[in-house]
Amino acid sequence: MNTVVNLPPLHAGNAKLRLGFGTWWRCAEIFYAFYNEVYEMEYSHKPVMADECISGLDIDPNGIYVDCTVGGGGHAALIAERLDEGRLIALDRDPEAIKAARQRLEPYKDKVIFINCNFSEVKQILGGVRPKGALIDLGVSSYQIDNPARGFSYMKDAPLDMRMDQRQALTAYDVVNGYSEERLEKIIREYGEERYADRIASRIVAARENAPIRTTLELASIIESAVPELPRASFRSGYRRQRSYSHPAKRTFQAIRIEVNGELDVIEPTIRDLVDLLLPGGRLAVITFHSLEDRIVKRTFAELQKGCVCPPDFPICVCGKEPQVELITKKPITPCRAELEDNPKSHSAKLRIVKKL
């Protein structure tokens, strides 16, 4: 994690308190970690497949571009630095992301317009403006995951929150403590693709009968206790380098996050809106981080490429739908070995690009 301040050195040998150096050192470490995490977290996020995205967007220096998920502004900076008369419209539903991106993009401030909104509103926001390219980099940023105050991580204790936009009412606490067992099981199975969804949902409901589940680590330990011994043993004995390694709470946390933020529902309509808006020859690039997202993007791109939706046994087309895009990536682009080594968080990323006809 990056930090922006250095704390003054601690005077470890204070004889009056008769504490040993080890105790002081441990106190200093705890204080330092707490201080950094809660008060001085810098917005840090490495843009994934940055070169591939930028070359795939084939930037026109005089065109209008939309970054639907500006996050820390990594991709946006690379787009903005290539613009001449062109402009970048940068969206994010998280006000903290907009603040961070505004700082990072200060050198290009005359070329960038920031809007704090859900990208599902892009059509209303752009009005009649027709972009030459757009990017959607789905999911959460490293900052959101690593900042304990946001409650996204099963590794750090925090109140159950997980909202990308903290003005929204629904939180992870409401989902975990308010949903019926059936509803919990359904979201954990569908959004987490978790095979032990029934056991986890039932364990959550039993646990909350005593008292509400309030924190991420409480929830993580309930999930861990619901997962059979074998996967738990593999996690504890540290199969970190194995492909099969996965924290027992990972899938359930993903499911709850998707539910809290309504992440999947907005992908297809936004892709269709962006394709409508794009100028002919304009490009849309989408980066996904799990198979649920990628399936939606792949299917939507395939439908837009195909055009006609008549049943296959119709002798002629009666729907009149024309193909709207050409697939630039027949298969998704994935991070190269060097990027995987430099940024392991990119390991599940897939990039798909289309060109408007």
Residues that bind ligand SAM (CB under 6 A): 45, 47, 69, 71-75, 91-94, 97, 118-119, 137, 139-141, 164, 266
Q: Specify the residue, 65 or 196, whose C-beta has the smaller distance to ligand SAM.
A: 65
Question: Which one, 138 or 204, has the nearer CB to ligand SAM?
Answer: 138
Q: Which is nearer to ligand SAM, 72 or 192 (CB)?
A: 72
Residues 6+ apart with CB under 8 A from 252: 188, 192, 194, 197, 200, 219, 223
Q: Strand, coil or helix: what is 219?
A: helix
3 φ, ψ (degrees, to nearest 5)? -130, 160
If the CB atoms of residues 97 and 204 are measured against ligand SAM, the closer one turns out to be 97
In the complex, minimum distance from the CB of residue 132 to ligand SAM, in angstroms, rounded to a whole number? 18
Q: What is the DSSP secondary-structure string of 270-311? A: HHHHHHHHSPTT-EEEEEESSHHHHHHHHHHHHHHHH---S-
The angle formed by the CA atoms of residues 256, 258 and 264, to the nearest 5 degrees, is 155
Neighbour count for residue 271 (Cβ, 10 Å): 24
Minimum CB–partner distance for residue 279 and ligand SAM (Å): 22
280 or 344, CB closer to ligand SAM?
A: 344
Three-state DSSP class for residue 24: helix
Report how far residue 303's alpha carbon sits from residue 264's, in angstroms, rounded to the nearest whole number: 17
Instruction: Count each helix (H run) and each strand (E run) in the chain, helices first.
Output: 15, 7
User: How far is 46 from 25, CA to CA, in rounded Å?
Assistant: 32
Say if residue 135 is exposed, middle or buried (CB neighbours under 10 Å; 0-12, 13-18, 19+). buried
Smallest separation (angstroms) from ligand SAM to the CB of 215: 22
CB 283 within 8 A of CB 328: yes
Give me the torsion for CA of 152, 154, 160, 163, rounded to 10°: 10
**Residue closer to ligand SAM (CB basis): 144 or 207:** 144
User: Which residue lies nearest ligand SAM, judged by its C-beta?
Assistant: 71
Instruction: Locate 89 and state its tokens.
Output: 């419209």
Q: How far is the CB of 166 from ligand SAM (least distance, A)?
A: 11
CB of 91 to ligand SAM, least distance (A): 5
Report the residue number, 54 or 201, with the smaller CB distance to ligand SAM: 54
Give the shortest CB-169-to-ligand SAM separation in angstroms: 16
Contacts of 8 (CB under 8 A, 6+ apart): none
Least CB distance to ligand SAM at residue 78 (A): 8
Considering the complex, state which of residue 201 and residue 353 has its C-beta at the smaller distance from ligand SAM: 353
Two tokens, residue 219? 């929830």
Q: How far is the CB of 224 from ligand SAM (least distance, A)?
A: 27
